[in-house]
Amino acid sequence: MTAKVTYKKWISEETVEEEELFSHCREMEIVCYAITKVVMEADNKWKNCVGKTTSNSLTNRSYIMELVSIQVLDQIIEYLMKVVKSFYKLNPKLARLKKENGLVMSKHDHVFDMLCARRFIMLQSIHNLIITMLSSCLHREDSRKMIESSLSLVGIYNNLIGLSCKKFSAKFNICSNTYPNIISETKPLTLTKIVQVLAKSRTEVNCHRLINCLVMMFKPEDHGDCDSNSNTDSLEIYHTLTKHITPPNSSTSRRLSLTKRRQAFIDNKKAKMKQAQSLVELKNGHKKLTEVLNPQNSDAEVPYTSLLDNECVLDNVFNNEENVNGILQSEEMYIEILLDSVSNISPILLGPKGIKKLKSGRIQASKKSAQKVTEYYQNLLWGDVGSCLEHIVLWWSAFPLATRSPKTSQNLREWLFSTFNDNNTPDLILSSLRILADALGCHVTSTSWDKHFGATLTTNLKPTSLKEYSDLSVYVTEATVSGANFALMLQELVTLNNHCEVTWDYIMGAPLEDLPIVEQIPILHRLDHSVHTCRLWCAAQARQLAAQWRVDDFFRVVHHDLRACLEQLQQLRFADHTVAIESGNIGVHENVCAKMREKLVSEVKINIQKLKEATDEITVVLSSVCATISLAHLTMIFPSNAEWRKITQPDITHSLYVHEFLDKMLLPVIQATSDVTTLNMVLRIMCESWLHHIYVAKVKFTKEAALQLLADFNEVRNWLNECKALPAPAKKQMLQNEVLRRCEGVGRLLLHAPGDLISMQESTMQSAKIRKDDNDSPEQLMPAEMYVPNQKQWLTLRANKLKGPVIFTLCCH
């Protein structure tokens, strides 16, 4: 069992040709294994070089190691080409193998599986090396050389996949250990994939360049006419943006003049090119150096733009104030290099009609394919830039906007909307800025609502001036802290919702497809929930404060907080898209989102209407509580039946309980609100409770006690006249309240025993005298007794009740 098999012939029926074939397969396995190790080591070395800047000097060890890595890379490419040829020679031999002997076929399958496994691992290592090189090539000065090497590896990779493609693909695929369900088949590398990797590698660089442009336009001194809060937000945005700008030159070179810096840059560029000339000549030995540095344009025999002869690009390099057009043009230079390299090294990637031959014999990409590749690259690049900008501005800085007030992010979003449009910004840059604006909108939606709604979870009824929030309310100057938080939350949601009703191109009437409905739906969800919560909070606080008769806080919540919240909701804007939805000319996704939006809009409107009607519900609560508390006070302070019977000589002034009752119930209301309707309601309920308590208590009044009670009722008018906290218009209307006449009528009724004849003339004249003193109007009025319902029942409260039928006659003279 332990003896080794020293001979290579496994099966006696093998021919010499089959034995040599299987031996060749085993050799190829060993070669694939060995080259895989070399490729993986090269990949690790190139990964370590990404992002490092080394001086191109032969005294620099890192630079020397890079030169060695480039030479090793050329040797790997050369050796891999030989491996491809060997595979192409081996494959037909395996196909011609006789399939008569089952043992031989079994051995063939086993050897083929092992070979495919080795080749699969080698392909993955080559793929990783290609991606690593493409990710870093556009950040290097020898980018053309790196692109050409990458394209050579792409050709080798695709050729290796092409061998027995169907059987090879069926046996092996790429599996992820993190996500086992994700399985991707090994596919050839296309120009699309190459462009994707290159665009991704340039994303962060162009993010910084675009932020540089934004900073040049967004300077705090340009907003000097704004208030202090706006200036603070502007400085926060400016500091956040400037944290991502890296000066292109050293401090010494920045102190030089522009001409000297340009000349120093050119000299430095030439020196670096001379050091790299040997490497360039290895790949392009038959070409002149000038042809390598200035290849032909893809559409005509015009040299590419070069940093050495393009003054505009030089100005953009030396000045931080580069514009968006310059950024786009500089990125197109890389595409020109890519297209030229692909046309001459891997023209198959451009397709059969993707290249053309110039008069000089040079092969170039056709105009159509060059335009297609350029547009695809720019669209990918600036789409990724827009997504990356969000992370940079919000999170990836020492002073990220995400840690600041959401208002700062909202100010930046509004500035982007107001500054950039189709007329002054290229579409590609505008798309990136729109992605950034949308991302800022989503961030503001979630963070601002979380902040404001979290603040409302803790009730704080401390009064606060709204002068700090000048744009919060026109009529309300003071509110509770919690009420101000609710108003701020609704204001923020209304602003965000209204922003979703417009686009970059339309202020009104924007097409349904162009509106950010997906972003608007969570805003409407939050708005619906916030309005509902605001109503419940106001109702609950009003009920609790009324029960404690803390009318100052009560009216601050009901009249100030609620009104401030309703003011914010008046600014809410909803466009009607019923016609567009019913027409059926929109996509499925847009249709679903639009219907969801309409449903949420209807719910928001219903909750707003309920919030408006909450005032009536709260008024009912106040009236009920006022009656209960009034009766409770009267139970404790109103004289008992025995005390009323002891009165033999009525006081000239009122009883002590009258002022105590008015001071406890009516005075706090007068001090808390100037609303005449509410004041009259409280006065009416108090007096009705007063009468109700007298009637229920069945107090028996003698004539002297009745005179005292009438004096107590009349003291209410005196108290109102002397109340300094009561405005004159409110005082006039309260003195005309019918409940005062009713109380007076009860007092006058109790002056007479049942069966007495009551002169209405005398009663009317006395009432008119009182009204004249109060209002300077001597008009004749209806007798006070006529305001009293159930007069017979009130007469039963008169002491010394007479026996027999009660006779009550009204005599008007």
Q: What are the pLDDT digits (tens) for 472-527?
A: 888 888 899 999 999 999 998 998 888 888 776 666 666 677 788 888 899 999 99
Query: Which stretch of 137-151, 158-172, 482-496, 696-710 has the lowest confidence by average pLDDT?
Result: 158-172
295 and 262 both lie in a single domain: yes
Query: pTM of this prediction?
Result: 0.65
575 and 705 both lie in a single domain: no
Q: State percent of the chain over pLDDT 90.
A: 19
Structural domain tally of the chain? 4
719 and 651 both lie in a single domain: yes
Phi and psi at 652, nearest 5°, equal: -65, -35
Answer yes or no: is 552 within a domain. Answer: yes
Residue 811 bridge partners (DSSP) = 759
Answer yes or no: is 431 within a domain. Answer: no
652 and 782 both lie in a single domain: yes
- Beta strand 758-759 with 810-811 is parallel
- For residue 309, how far is the Cα from the chain centroid? 46
- Please choose, from the candidates 207, 181, 166, 176, the residue with its C-alpha nearest in 3D space to the C-alpha of residue 384: 207
Phi and psi at 545, nearest 5°, equal: -70, -35
Q: Over the stretch 667-687, which tens digit does the pLDDT of each residue have?
A: 999 999 888 999 999 999 999
65 and 22 both lie in a single domain: yes
Sequence-distant (6+) residues with CB within 8 A of 212 are 245, 320, 322
Domain span including residue 700:
638-811
Answer yes or no: is 558 within a domain. Answer: yes
Answer yes or no: is 625 within a domain. Answer: no
Instruction: Flag whether pLDDT at 97 surpasses 70.
Output: no
71 and 153 both lie in a single domain: yes
Answer yes or no: is 743 within a domain. Answer: yes
Answer yes or no: is 630 within a domain. Answer: no
Answer yes or no: is 11 within a domain. Answer: no
- Domain boundary (367, 383, 402) is at 402
Q: What pLDDT, on the 0 to 100 scale, is given for residue 276? A: 41
160 and 38 both lie in a single domain: yes
- Domain boundary (189, 215, 233) is at 189
CA atoms 655, 660, 663, 664: torsion sign: negative
Q: How many angstroms separate the CA atoms of 383 and 375, rounded?
A: 12
760 and 668 both lie in a single domain: yes
- Domain boundary (363, 382, 402) is at 402
796 and 706 both lie in a single domain: yes
726 and 586 both lie in a single domain: no
Answer yes or no: is 656 within a domain. Answer: yes
Instruction: Flag whether pLDDT at 659 surpasses 50.
Output: yes
**Largest distance between two CA atoms of the chain:** 150
Question: By the 8 A CB rule, do 237 and 218 touch?
Answer: yes
Per residue in 408-425, is it b (16+ CB within 10 Å) or e — as a string?
Answer: bbbbbbebbbeebeeeeb
More confident residue, 268 or 371: 371
- Please choose, from the candidates 126, 122, 146, 124, the residue with its C-alpha nearest in 3D space to the C-alpha of residue 134: 146
470 and 371 both lie in a single domain: no
376 and 506 both lie in a single domain: no
More confident residue, 189 or 774: 189
Q: Over the stretch 578-611, which tens digit does the pLDDT of each residue have?
A: 777 777 777 788 888 888 989 999 999 999 999 9
Query: Which stretch of 123-127, 165-169, 214-218, 787-791 has the lowest confidence by average pLDDT?
Result: 165-169
